Structure 1
């Protein structure tokens, strides 16, 4: 018997198992596919919110329980989930992705049966370049969820997965017989960072869920990623795996996984060849997913990624605080107010996990100190004494000190890499929280710079004095009180007014003569100063850009007139 790799025991998310119950599908693409017909109904928004919401069991009388009992009751807050917009987004993505992935893997289709019987070793032995995107008939897709620790990435995804049965038992599917369909599987990327360990974890996890012995059969000491991938493909197809979630993806080491190309091929082939939807979850340390070939290969088959960050939206923050505020196990009920909300934000910086823990510690302190009520002072004390390990983390966010923030790799994205990916992505990247605000700021700055240079060029074309031209362009482009859509129009009006003002003689605005042999532009001196404004206004009335109407009227010469 060959030597086998040692067993690796890691926490495993496990869901319910049930017998198959087939339901008629309304959507034509879903009809006649037993893998889809046994899934739960597609939920409406209100039903998703109800399914996600998770609150502690609380009665007013509990506030007067003995201290030790209340201490235990407070810990229930650790499981609280208040549905937010990104929860709905995640659930709907999974709902579509799982069904869409099954469209190309209908066990009743003859093509699927033929491909399954042929096996995957031949396919995986191919050295075809997969960077050009999904060329196979796979209908699968995938996406990444990236954000700092404590924001609710893993909790949201686990809650979504647990709303689906993990295993559905089909008593008989023609051509296959008895099948245990695995709707979802969630793996944590191994701390050693190797793809081989991830492959082994795949078999071990299925063995725990299904009671099989795939690890014993498939894995030995000579196994490599290349030898294990065809077996993963075969087992995933045999059990109709609906989606594979790989959490803590920042742990993946490209060096230990054979380099960037090896890791790239591993993930793209999961989707392209196996037809398996893959969701990757990680902190901002996993930004290699957004860079270079990784981004190109993933966006060719993806649904558009999600970037989550701490809460900055006041409505969302109020929703979170109001949802936890009702759960006070203190003898004195403290009404909520803006000062307390602001203090909680100051000490947690909008990170959901931290604010919940802070609220718990504050209540524990209130009980221990016999104060029995919540105050700003007590919130600060709880943060300083009970959340010491994360205080530097929070202070780095508070101050915005880039040097301090660099010490926490999962805290903030390397903005240029992320922003460039978002702007160039083929699919829309969904941004939630502070990262969305920063992206908007970056876009606004880029737009303002573009408008500035455009205004400078327009002013030069119209003959405005250079220093005056640059000063005007700078003033209008950086004025936050003027809507971006109105800046160009206002600039043209101002330029025209300046050209008519005393001290701006017509003679000084004459354009230099071009060399002989080139087409002559209409640059005759305007007989009346009002002609410039008249031409500009007539252009606006016809919905023609001001600069174009002035060119049409012969008041602006081409750049090439000067060269």
Structure 2
């Protein structure tokens, strides 16, 4: 059975007129009072090591080092992203007010696929948006998403809204990751597994029986509507560069349909490697970034942000001798990490791991030793970041941005990147490699196969 807490709805007046009277919006946490609150609420600083702890045994302190991984440093970019996510999460429900006649008709049309004479309302328009957040690998986009989602109860149970009957579950968000094989089927099944985990349903079994794209997407549309899904966070979108044949385009089309047809907002997270996918798909990219986009760059050497970041982490020194954070240490730390958040935290942690039980001090030498040994495998990538040389950065597609990333939406008519051919893929029956016809044996087997009947769910507000 599911191990997820389902919270009863508690309604709050938002003070925003367009949100008034909408139970799905009023069941969300109260809005922040200022922009700075978005940074304050995202930040997380675990208990700092005391002088007593620094005198503890080597093993105790080595175990305590994992505390560093719990730090969430609030980068200034998080403020904009936090506000955007808060607005998207609520705006998505403006056009999906569950107590209105129009929304009941919309939900009914999706549940029945419009087969009983009640089509989608002609004048219904989605209020959902897409937001694209990009950074080089290890620069904090996934950390932001994880911290921001902690603000929201993921599943809310409604029973009565100020005297009006409202019996339903509201799944505020789901978090998905584009799989490494970048298949549409894998992504769809991941969605159904997540809904099953949250609600204890059995959609994944129904979905696994489907062998074609159309019924799979149709089932996804019905389920997302039935659970009143608010927004989807999709991480690792750059994995679409590994998609074969037209799979990348199919996934992007699905994202667009989620926003436009279902009215569900979408936050996409990616590294610069996503450029190979989106440069030839401007229409879909425009929808994914309909509420804007954000690029988080590595911190600059000697910048106030770098110094403040290091000063924050320096408080989590576990070696016996905690020295002053000097410019020499800051410079060695930067050389070992290139200002990349993940690399910087790793360099600090590994340096302490090496020095506990040894010299018991963190200085420039400690970082230099770590860079030359424990982090040697990251050396080429860090050297490329330090050089800022496009030719070197191009060797690591997760690190290189095109100029200000405007090419993502500006390159109209760009050619699709080359796709590998002739590689078999466990995908839908109606997805084939371009210019690679199915073998006669496969065609023969396909003709003999009979489709398995699937009992699609029917969550219809007019059938209650």
TM-score normalised by length of structure 1: 0.66
Partner of 1:95: 86
Aligned 8 A contact 1:254 1:263 in 2: no
Please report how far the alpha carbon of residue 296 of structure 1 lies from its aligned counterpart in structure 2 after TM superposition: 6.0
Aligned to 2:364: 376
What's the secondary structure of 1:386's corresponding residue? coil
Instruction: Label 1:25 to 1:78 Cα distance change in 2 as closer, same or farther (>3 A).
Output: closer
Gaps of 5+ in 1: 1-11, 125-134, 426-563
Of the three residues 59, 63, 68, the one matched with 1:77 is 68
Superposition deviation, residue 382 in structure 1: 1.1
Asked whether the equivalents of residues 130 and 288 of structure 2 are also in contact (C-alpha less than 8 Å), the reply is no
State whether structure 2 residue 53 is matched by structure 1 residue 62. yes
Q: Deviation at 1:288?
A: 4.2
Contact 2:241 2:274 in 1 (8 A): no
- Mapped to 2, the partners of 1:75 and 1:297 lie a distance apart of 38
Counterpart pick for 1:45 among 35, 51, 54: 35
Higher relative contact order (CA 8 A, sep 6+): 2
Residue 193 to residue 412, structure 1, CA distance change in 2 (3 Å): same
User: Given the alignment of the two structures, is residue 205 of structure 1 paired with residue 181 of structure 2, yes or no?
Assistant: no
- SS across alignment from 1:215: helix
Please say if 1:178 is aligned against 2:158: no
- Structure 2 residues not aligned, in runs of 5+: 116-122, 413-464
Matched, 1:139 2:127: yes
Gap change, CA 1:264 and 1:74, over 3 Å in 2: closer
Distance 2:5 2:399 in 1: 35
Distance 1:300 1:388 in 2: 37
Structure 1 residues 259 and 69, CA, compared in 2 at 3 Å: closer, same or farther? closer
Deviations 1:477-523 (A, max 9, x none): xxxxxxxxxxxxxxxxxxxxxxxxxxxxxxxxxxxxxxxxxxxxxxx
Q: SS state of the match for residue 279, structure 1? A: strand
Q: Does 1:217 align with 2:217?
A: no
Tell me how far apart the structure 2 counterparts of residues 269 and 302 of structure 1 sit (CA, whole Å): 13
> 1:195 aligns to what?
184
| Superposition deviation, residue 17 in structure 1 | 3.2
SS across alignment from 2:18: helix
What are the equivalent positions in structure 2 for 1:240-279 lying under 5 Å apart?
240-253=228-241, 255-256=243-244, 258-259=246-247, 261-279=249-267
Q: Say which of 391, 397, 417 aligns to 1:409.
A: 397
CA pair 17-342 structure 1, distance change in 2 beyond 3 A: farther
How far 1:414 moved relative to its partner?
3.7
Distance in 2 separating the partners of 1:372 and 1:203: 50
> Is the contact made by 1:325 and 1:336 (CA closer than 8 Å) also made in structure 2?
yes
> Secondary structure at the residue paired with 2:307?
helix
Kindly indicate whether the alpha-carbon contact (under 8 Å) linking 2:181 and 2:242 is maintained by their aligned counterparts in 1: no
Corresponding residue number in structure 1 for 2:378: 390
Distance change >3 Å, CA 350–CA 26, structure 1 → 2? same
Alpha-carbon spacing, 1:172–1:256, altered in 2? closer, same or farther (3 Å): farther
CA RMSD in angstroms, aligned pairs only? 2.6
- Matched length: 400
2:312 maps to 323
Q: For 1:426-481, what per-residue CA distance to the aligned partner results, in whole angstroms no more than 9, with x for missing partners?
A: xxxxxxxxxxxxxxxxxxxxxxxxxxxxxxxxxxxxxxxxxxxxxxxxxxxxxxxx
The TM-score with structure 2 as length reference comes to 0.80
Distance 2:177 2:94 in 1: 27
| Inter-CA distance 235–361: structure 2 relative to 1 (3 Å threshold) | same
